[in-house]
């Protein structure tokens, strides 16, 4: 969160440091962007206002990862594995019931610092804030306030906005939305009839630990136990706002139980969520408003201690080096949302193949968390759409959401990407935001390496780098990242030639490639989109033999000028993947057909797409 913007001119001088990529904000997306850009050879600098790295994961205390446990994409997967090593194994992270990955915020900060320190092309300036930022020719001229009171001049080729509230995007003149769009604008049936400026509740998280003795704090001024009476089942709870979600006090306190006898207090049910719209406030107004949010959390802590009997639990003295022992920043669930090259809506998630834009071909991150909005502390929430765990299939997030429409040299990350208000309820989650950062770093580094404008960088180039880094383009549960088929099936899924199946199963949001299922003919209808001039006609639901598959591929290869002995290539692949002797009469699986198309025709790389998912050079 940037609280010290001062617009004005910034003079370049002899002491100005020249870098490739400047990242404003060292949060979940900022750290990931910095690591990825530096790994791809870009000279990179992260500027962070606090003394910690990791943002909502650490500095805000939301150290319970939501979603993507079975989709360990890229840097998010690296972070999860490092947590497992620190605590012993993955099972050691399952200390609370809200998540399969819980950890102490201070440990997360240490890990991020270790990851950053390992990158030779990456610098970090902590306790440093942005003072001025101005576009000069093809570069950005920037001034930052250092912790020693001095001002540092920086010249950067590309800036990434990784702030909590999209402050840099605003400073650069990017158009954006705040609050809910109307259903006619986004085409989302569950959106409100009229737009509004209502954002999600924020939360000042508290990290408690068990001291084994009474550590009850002094009763906060203005404390009213009725505010929290139905946070759980207890004698004070008479009329719960959500009668179907009143759980025992033990369930409530162990929701965010962390390792080493600590507890994350980020309780959404009449707990410490707090409504205030900070986005367009001045620095002073934000500071004052957050005092009220902090006080609200301390009232809830007192409620836990005094009313519920958890008097041995107090604010941890070994987590935050802050005077009040609270996190550096609140947990912001919502920020500005830019007008990007594309806007990702609920319809793109629920019916990706039925939309005009074929955004599933352009994805650079994946998510599997439901749409989850927090509005319990907003007065009048009953008039808002019910977006508590709205079920969706898992999804891929398109690249165009990171690229603003009208400002060159800027990439937007964190929670300010170009999605609808409803979709923000799932893309805001930590693993998705880390992947957004990794994609932003990839795009920035490629733009510099290729000497192209950001919007001119090939979608496929970005996707290839993400695949090389162990990232996902599409969220196939049945093809894990360590499978030898992973990259091929990700690529073919991203052409649309073969499509996965998404579904919601109780609390789980899934997408399956159906890799082991036998291929039937009409599942190859996507070939006509990629090769419209070949005259491919695929009809019926009969299985496809290997001989039929080879002959179809040969026909396309000839039309595309691919000089290859297809049969010999297939025999070689069968040997490479240890599938035994080739039997031309066998019916092929979906996975095997995808592999053949990928390795022989290579449509992913040979048929480029634009940011909307259209094949370049073909009529739409």
Mean pLDDT for the chain overall: 95
E strands in 268-317:
273-274, 313-315
Tell me: the pLDDT tens digits for 68-94?
999 999 999 999 999 999 999 999 999
Residue 305 has pLDDT above 90, yes or no: yes
CA 110 from chain centre, in angstroms, equals 21
Dist CA 60 CA 69 (whole Å): 21
Residues 497 and 391 in one domain: no
Residues 231 and 103 in one domain: yes
Instruction: State the Cα torsion 90-91-92-97 to the nearest 10°.
Output: 110
Residues 465 and 597 in one domain: no
pLDDT at 583: 97
- Mean pLDDT confidence for 149-175: 98
Residues 3 and 105 in one domain: yes
Kindly indicate the confidence band of residue 363, based on its pLDDT and cuts at 50, 70 and 90. Answer: very high
231 lies in a domain?
yes
- The three-state DSSP-derived secondary structure of 61-96 is CCCECCCCCCCCCHHHHHHHHHHHHHHCCHHHHCCC
619 lies in a domain?
no
- Mean pLDDT confidence for 400-422: 97
CA 79 from chain centre, in angstroms, equals 14
Residue pair 216/305 in contact by the 8 Å Cβ criterion: yes
Residue with tokens 């290859």: 564
What are the angstrom distances between the C-alpha of 398 and each of 37, 199, 360, 558, 619? 19, 23, 7, 32, 21
Residues 6+ apart with CB under 8 A from 451: none
What are the angstrom distances between the C-alpha of 114 and each of 66, 108, 118? 23, 10, 6
Residue 13 has pLDDT above 60, yes or no: no
Residues 448 and 560 in one domain: no
**Domain coverage including residue 302:** 1-475
- Mean pLDDT confidence for 152-156: 98
Dist CA 53 CA 73 (whole Å): 20
Residues 470 and 560 in one domain: no
Tell me: the pLDDT tens digits for 574-589?
999 999 999 999 999 9
95 lies in a domain?
yes
CATH of the domain at 192: 3.50.50.60
Residue 3 has pLDDT above 80, yes or no: no
Residues 211 and 327 in one domain: yes
151 lies in a domain?
yes
Q: Quote the crossing angle between the two packed helices 105-117 and 28-39, to the nearest 10°.
A: 20
pLDDT at 4: 42
617 lies in a domain?
no
Burial of residue 382 (CB within 10 Å: 0-12, 13-18, 19+) is: exposed
197 lies in a domain?
yes
DSSP state of 182: P
Residues 117 and 264 in one domain: yes
pTM (2 d.p.): 0.96
Dist CA 588 CA 552 (whole Å): 13
Residue with tokens 């080493």: 260
Dist CA 208 CA 250 (whole Å): 15
- Mean pLDDT confidence for 91-119: 98
Q: How far does the chain reach from its first CA to its final CA, in angstroms?
A: 41
pLDDT at 2: 44
Residue 616 has pLDDT above 60, yes or no: yes
Domain final position from 456, 475, 494: 475
CA geometry: angle at 23 spanning 20 and 25, to 5°?
170
Dist CA 170 CA 172 (whole Å): 5
Q: Are strands 202-203 and 151-161 parallel, antiparallel or unpaired?
A: unpaired
- Categorise residue 215: left if φ over 0, alpha if ψ from -120 to 50, beta otherwise: alpha
- Mean pLDDT confidence for 388-406: 95
Residues 6+ apart with CB under 8 A from 435: 32, 73, 74, 75, 76, 364, 365, 366, 397, 471, 472
% of the chain with per-residue pLDDT over 90: 91
Residues 6+ apart with CB under 8 A from 436: 29, 32, 365, 397, 402, 413, 414, 417, 427
Q: How many CA atoms lie within 13 A of 46 on its CB side?
A: 37
Residue with tokens 């159906």: 514
Kindly indicate the confidence band of residue 15, based on its pLDDT and cuts at 50, 70 and 90. Answer: low
Dist CA 154 CA 16 (whole Å): 5
481 lies in a domain?
no
416 lies in a domain?
yes
Residues 451 and 593 in one domain: no
Residues 282 and 335 in one domain: yes
Residues 6+ apart with CB under 8 A from 577: 484, 595
Residues 410 and 510 in one domain: no
Dist CA 523 CA 513 (whole Å): 12
pLDDT at 619: 59
Q: Annotate 188-254 with DSSP letters as a single string.
A: -TTS-SS-B---PPEE--EEEEE-SS--PPPPPTT--GGGTTTSSSSTT-SS-SSGGG---HHHHHH
CA geometry: angle at 599 spanning 595 and 602, to 5°?
110
Kindly indicate the confidence band of residue 8, based on its pLDDT and cuts at 50, 70 and 90. Answer: very low
Domain final position from 443, 475, 507: 475
5, two tokens: 């913007």
DSSP state of 518: B
Residue closest to 607 by CA, chosen among 459, 479, 390, 440: 459
Tell me: the pLDDT tens digits for 309-333?
999 999 999 999 999 999 999 999 9
Residues 6 and 141 in one domain: yes
pLDDT at 1: 44
Residue 170 has pLDDT above 60, yes or no: yes
Element (H, E) at 466: helix 459-468
Q: Which comes out higher in pLDDT, residue 381 or 410?
A: 410
Tell me: the pLDDT tens digits for 16-52?
689 999 999 999 999 999 999 999 999 999 999 999 9
Tell me: the pLDDT tens digits for 261-287?
999 999 999 999 999 999 999 989 999
Instruction: State the Cα torsion 471-473-474-479 to the nearest 10°.
Output: -40
Dist CA 158 CA 176 (whole Å): 20
- Number of separate domains in the chain: 2
- Mean pLDDT confidence for 607-620: 88
Tell me: the pLDDT tens digits for 541-574?
999 999 999 999 999 999 999 999 999 999 999 9
For 138, the 3-state DSSP assignment is: coil
DSSP state of 341: S
Dist CA 143 CA 132 (whole Å): 5
Domain final position from 475, 506, 541: 475
DSSP state of 120: T
């Amino acid at each position: 969160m940037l609280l010290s913007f001062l617009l004005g001119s910034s003079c370049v001088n002899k002491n100005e440091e020249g870098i490739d990529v400047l990242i404003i904000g060292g949060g979940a997306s900022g750290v990931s962007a910095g690591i990825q850009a530096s790994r791809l050879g870009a000279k990179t600098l992260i500027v962070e206002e606090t003394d910690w790295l990791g943002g909502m994961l650490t500095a805000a205390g939301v150290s319970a990862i939501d979603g993507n446990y079975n989709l360990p994409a890229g840097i998010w997967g690296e972070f999860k594995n490092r947590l497992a090593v620190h605590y012993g194994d993955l099972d050691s992270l399952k200390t609370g019931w809200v998540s399969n990955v819980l950890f102490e915020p201070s440990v997360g900060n240490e890990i991020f610092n270790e990851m950053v320190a390992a990158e030779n092309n990456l610098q970090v300036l902590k306790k440093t804030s942005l003072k001025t930022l101005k576009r000069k020719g093809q570069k950005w001229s920037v001034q930052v306030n250092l912790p020693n009171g001095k001002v540092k001049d920086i010249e950067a080729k590309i800036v990434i906005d990784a702030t909590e509230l999209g402050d840099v995007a605003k400073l650069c003149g990017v158009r954006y939305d705040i609050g809910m769009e109307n259903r006619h604008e986004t085409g989302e049936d569950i959106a409100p009839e009229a737009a509004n400026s209502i954002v999600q509740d924020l939360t000042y998280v508290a990290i408690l630990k068990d001291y084994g003795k009474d550590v009850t704090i002094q009763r906060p001024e203005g404390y009213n136990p009725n505010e929290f009476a139905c946070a759980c089942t207890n004698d004070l709870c008479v009329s719960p706002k959500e009668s179907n979600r009143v759980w025992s006090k033990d369930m409530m306190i162990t929701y965010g139980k962390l390792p080493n006898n600590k507890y994350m207090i980020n309780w959404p049910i009449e707990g410490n969520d707090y409504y205030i719209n900070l986005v367009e406030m001045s620095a002073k107004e934000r500071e004052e408003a957050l005092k009220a949010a902090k006080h609200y959390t301390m009232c809830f802590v007192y409620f836990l201690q005094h009313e519920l009997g958890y008097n041995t639990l107090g604010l941890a003295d070994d987590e935050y080096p802050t005077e009040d022992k609270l996190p550096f920043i609140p947990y912001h669930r919502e920020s500005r949302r830019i007008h990007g090259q594309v806007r990702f809506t609920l319809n793109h998630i629920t019916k990706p193949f039925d939309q005009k834009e074929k955004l599933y071909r352009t994805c650079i991150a994946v998510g599997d968390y439901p749409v989850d909005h927090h509005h319990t502390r907003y007065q009048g929430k009953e008039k808002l759409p019910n977006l508590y765990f709205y079920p969706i299939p898992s999804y891929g997030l398109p690249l165009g959401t990171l690229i603003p429409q009208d400002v060159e040299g800027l990439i937007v990350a964190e929670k300010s990407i170009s999605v609808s208000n409803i979709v923000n309820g799932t893309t805001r989650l930590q693993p998705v935001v880390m992947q957004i950062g990794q994609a932003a770093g990839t795009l920035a580094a490629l733009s510099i390496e290729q000497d192209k404008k950001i919007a001119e960088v090939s979608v496929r180039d970005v996707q290839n780098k993400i695949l090389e880094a162990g990232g996902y383009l599409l969220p196939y549960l049945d093809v894990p990242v360590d499978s030898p088929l992973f990259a091929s099936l990700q690529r073919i899924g991203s052409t649309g030639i073969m499509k996965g199946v998404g579904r919601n199963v109780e609390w789980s949001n899934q997408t399956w490639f159906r890799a082991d299922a036998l291929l039937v003919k009409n599942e190859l209808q996507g070939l006509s989109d990629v090769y419209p001039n070949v005259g491919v006609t695929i009809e019926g639901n009969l299985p496809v033999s290997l001989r039929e598959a080879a002959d179809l591929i040969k026909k396309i290869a000839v039309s595309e000028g691919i000089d290859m002995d297809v049969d010999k290539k297939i025999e070689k692949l069968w040997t490479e993947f240890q599938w035994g002797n080739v039997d031309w009469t066998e019916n092929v699986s979906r996975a095997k057909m995808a592999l053949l198309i990928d390795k022989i025709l290579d449509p992913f790389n040979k048929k480029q797409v634009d940011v909307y998912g259209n094949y370049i050079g073909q009529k739409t």
